[in-house]
Amino acid sequence: MSIDNYPIEVGFPDISAHERSSSGIPYAHTFDSGAPGPHVMINALTHGNEVCGAIVVDELLRRALRPRRGRLTLAFANVDAYRRFDPAKPDAARFVDQDFNRVWTTAVLDDTSRVSSELTRARQLRPLVDTVDSLLDLHSMHEKSAPLIVAGPLQKGSDLAVRLGTPATVICDEGHPEGRRMRDYEAFGEPGSPKNALLIECGQHWEQGAVAVARDTTARFLLLAGIVDEADLPADWIAPLPATQRVVRVTQPVVATSMDFRFAAPYTGLEIFAEAGTVIGWSNGEPVLTPYDNCMLVMPSLRQLRPGVTVVRLGKVEQVLESGA
């Protein structure tokens, strides 16, 4: 199966200057204002080829942004994968050994018999992540699709996404069968905890527009947390809010069981099919059908196809809200 690569429209910053940090964890910088407030973390490079977050975190470190209240952590996660990026094989740098965003359970992190580049890095970051009150994880997508917020399965996540106000599509989901994401780790995924997290899919991995979304959502997230003032941030980072937000509930993943999977058309995401029973693809020669009317495709892609990988999620629009509602 041959899939054409998207053009690379952005430069990849040299982040080597950020390796040493006062936190003692390479590529993870924490700044304490000394004043009361939450600990907010802006995380980039959960996947090594998702560069928009790295551009934003690099810019904030070079601008020497400091919190006025609480603490701020600016981190690059899977640096080893980022170092391997090859423009000729741009999808190969997603991870080194396994997906960094599928290892975030206590049982997996505590199991020292499991060894991988990604687990080593997750175990480095874990003590820091344990202290974070509010996490923004900056991602991008395999296919060129409108940006979206992944808010997780809990009401507190979707509430935070609506308060943030952008992007226009909020995805509420349980994650992936392959393993737990960082945004669902421990207290972030507990309904009774005030700790919260959002994951932003800013656009296609290497498009310029994804950087603008990453800047906008980062600036808004920091302001919403109250740890900086608007004057502390670049004036051109904040973009107008969308007129509405739609909240979409994922009902089920479609998981590949073999390499024999294909879609019925070149879907890129957020397509809605009016009638239940519409064929959207084939798995091992059997049709994959939409299970209900007005079914939305969430992040369909075959670029990481292998058994056990979620190739698309299916969702329903639950709410459409006016901006700021």
Q: What is the pLDDT of residues 19-78, one digit of tens each?
A: 999 889 999 999 999 999 999 999 999 999 999 999 999 999 999 999 999 999 999 999
Mean pLDDT of 142-146: 94
Mean pLDDT of 196-225: 98
Cross-strand pairs, 73: 30, 41
Q: Does residue 136 fall inside a structural domain?
A: yes
On the 0-12 / 13-18 / 19+ scale of CB atoms within 10 A, 136 is: buried
Residue 104 corresponds to which tokens in the numbers above? Answer: 């975030």
Separation of alpha carbons 110 and 108, rounded Å? 5
What does the DSSP 8-state code read for residue 184?
Answer: G
Separation of alpha carbons 40 and 116, rounded Å? 27
Looking up residue 307, the CATH number of its domain turns out to be: 2.40.50.630
Residues near 168 by Cβ (< 8 Å), separated by ≥ 6? Answer: 146, 147, 148, 242, 244, 245, 246
Q: At what angle do helices 155-164 and 208-225 cross, to 10 degrees?
A: 110
Separation of alpha carbons 77 and 121, rounded Å? 7
Instruction: Tell me, yes or no, whether 230 and 264 share the same domain.
Output: no
When pLDDT is cut at 50, 70 and 90, the band that residue 324 belongs to is low
Q: Does residue 2 fall inside a structural domain?
A: no
Dihedral over Cα of 52, 54, 58, 60: its sign: positive
**pLDDT, the chain, mean:** 95
What's the Cα-to-Cα distance from 222 to each of 67, 164, 225, rounded to whole Å? 9, 10, 5
Mean pLDDT of 306-317: 94
Mean pLDDT of 246-266: 96
Instruction: Tell me, yes or no, whether 162 and 275 share the same domain.
Output: no
Instruction: Tell me, yes or no, whether 213 and 255 share the same domain.
Output: no
Mean pLDDT of 205-224: 98
Mean pLDDT of 159-185: 94
When pLDDT is cut at 50, 70 and 90, the band that residue 177 belongs to is confident
Residue 325 pLDDT > 70, yes or no? no
pLDDT of res. 122: 98
Q: Does residue 324 fall inside a structural domain?
A: no
Dihedral over Cα of 208, 90, 18, 53: its sign: positive
Our count of domains for the chain comes to 2
Q: Does residue 325 fall inside a structural domain?
A: no
Q: Which domain holds residue 276?
A: 251-317
Separation of alpha carbons 20 and 38, rounded Å? 24
Contact at 8 Å (CB) between 101 and 53? no
Q: Does residue 144 fall inside a structural domain?
A: yes
What does the DSSP 8-state code read for residue 322?
Answer: E
Instruction: Tell me, yes or no, whether 233 and 261 share the same domain.
Output: no
Q: Does residue 6 fall inside a structural domain?
A: no
Contact at 8 Å (CB) between 314 and 323? no
Q: Does residue 1 fall inside a structural domain?
A: no
pLDDT of res. 175: 84
Domain closes at, from 244, 262, 278? 244
Contact at 8 Å (CB) between 265 and 252? no
Instruction: Tell me, yes or no, whether 80 and 189 share the same domain.
Output: yes
Cross-strand pairs, 314: 252, 297
Instruction: Tell me, yes or no, whether 51 and 81 share the same domain.
Output: yes
Q: Name the pairing type of β-strands 196-204 and 295-298.
A: unpaired
Instruction: Tell me, yes or no, whether 239 and 258 share the same domain.
Output: no
Domain closes at, from 244, 276, 300? 244
Instruction: Tell me, yes or no, whether 165 and 313 share the same domain.
Output: no
Unique residue bearing structure tokens 């993870």: 28
Separation of alpha carbons 50 and 54, rounded Å? 8
Length of the chain: 325
pLDDT of res. 22: 86
When pLDDT is cut at 50, 70 and 90, the band that residue 2 belongs to is low
Residue 180 pLDDT > 60, yes or no? yes
Q: Does residue 135 fall inside a structural domain?
A: yes
Separation of alpha carbons 43 and 200, rounded Å? 11
Residue 263 corresponds to which tokens in the numbers above? Answer: 């879609």
Instruction: Tell me, yes or no, whether 238 and 257 share the same domain.
Output: no
Mean pLDDT of 211-216: 98
Instruction: Tell me, yes or no, whether 240 and 256 share the same domain.
Output: no
Share of the chain above pLDDT 70, in %: 99
Separation of alpha carbons 3 and 112, rounded Å? 37
Share of the chain above pLDDT 90, in %: 94
Looking up residue 107, the CATH number of its domain turns out to be: 3.40.630.10
Instruction: Tell me, yes or no, whether 181 and 201 share the same domain.
Output: yes
Residue 305 pLDDT > 80, yes or no? yes
Instruction: Tell me, yes or no, whether 307 and 187 share the same domain.
Output: no
Residue 323 pLDDT > 80, yes or no? no
Separation of alpha carbons 122 and 100, rounded Å? 7
Domain closes at, from 195, 222, 244? 244
pLDDT of res. 1: 46
Q: Name the pairing type of β-strands 196-204 and 148-150.
A: antiparallel
